[in-house]
Homo-oligomer: A and B are copies of this chain.
Amino acid sequence: MPLVVTGTIGIDTVFTPTDRRERVLGGSAAYFAAAASFFTPVRVVAAVGGDWPKQHRDVLESFSGVCLAGLEERTSSRTFAWGGRYLEDVNCRETLFTEVGVVAENPPVVPAVYANSQFVFLGNTHPSVQHQFLSNFKERKLIVADTMNLWIETARPELEALIRDVDGLVLNDSEAAMLSGAKNAVTAANRILEMGPRFIIVKKGEHGAVLVSREGFAAVPAWPADEKHVVDPTGAGDSFAGGLMGHIATTGKTDIQTLRRAMQWGTVVASFTIERFGLEKLQEITRETLDLRMAEFRALTGANA
């Protein structure tokens, strides 16, 4: 069933202790769409500037099933650009620069052909913008949103209004703690659940993810990656969300068993993303590669096939 993502397409510059990539394709919508495309066609709503490299479009289009009808190219604007440096401990990164570009302008228009999208992922941006997007999807069956610390600090009323209107919220552990005031991920998720959604997923990076819902819990460990295989963690969370929503949209179901299985798929896709810079690894692999790792992941967690 049709899946749509609203979010950012960016130009990323990433430094690690031993390597770097300059001005490569990045952004939440890019990682999400690439990850979800292994499961189902995915529609992108985003805006880029006149400086957006032709090769970045080629990369996105190399993922079969990614629809760019909702990608606005604004020739007189600049693409969102981000630069960051990972330290020896890849859990620590510093932002070198952020150029918001088109993200500070009017949000992109959702094309009429996307109106029948049933599964909607609202990638991180100002919660008022996320909220506006919702009105475009009258046939929505499941809305899941992401957010970030910036909006928790600067746009809390708007964020709370958004949270009341979505089915699921996906956020990382530090964001969950900031939003709820509770450090324990389960306590944090329980508190956020009181704000309206059906389920909350707290992403804990190398410690996996936990889902708290009115129907029950789900928990997945991370793929056990040795640090020598962790090249660039950028986009891991968006890849997780893409695998998650891709599986949900494929099944068309939103029950707790489907959500649990979807978290496993999100984990498996993200485990590949971090093995190379940017989208390099996801460009290399196929659905069969994911299936093989899923079998390994199920084995190591003792999970059902």
Number of this chain's copies in the complex: 2
- Alpha-carbon distance between A302 and B183 when the two chains are bound, in angstroms: 26
- In the complex, are the beta carbons of B217 and A219 less than 8 A apart? no
A138 at the interface (CB under 8 A from B): no
**Provided the pairs A184-B230, A185-B206, A206-B185 are in contact, do residues A299 and B224 lie with their beta carbons within 8 angstroms?**
no
A contact face: mostly helix, strand, loop, or mixed? mixed
* Per-residue B-contact encoding for A200-234, CB less than 8 Å = 1, 0 else: 00001011101010001111111011111010000
Known: A186-B227, A264-B302. 18 other contacts (CB 8 A): A89-B183, A184-B226, A186-B224, A186-B225, A186-B226, A187-B226, A187-B227, A190-B226, A204-B207, A207-B208, A208-B221, A210-B224, A216-B300, A217-B300, A219-B224, A260-B301, A298-B302, A303-B303
Q: List 25 A-B contacts (CB under 8 A).
A: A89-B183, A183-B227, A184-B226, A184-B227, A186-B224, A186-B226, A186-B227, A187-B228, A190-B226, A207-B207, A207-B208, A208-B208, A208-B221, A210-B221, A210-B224, A216-B299, A218-B301, A219-B221, A219-B224, A219-B300, A260-B301, A261-B302, A301-B302, A302-B303, A304-B304
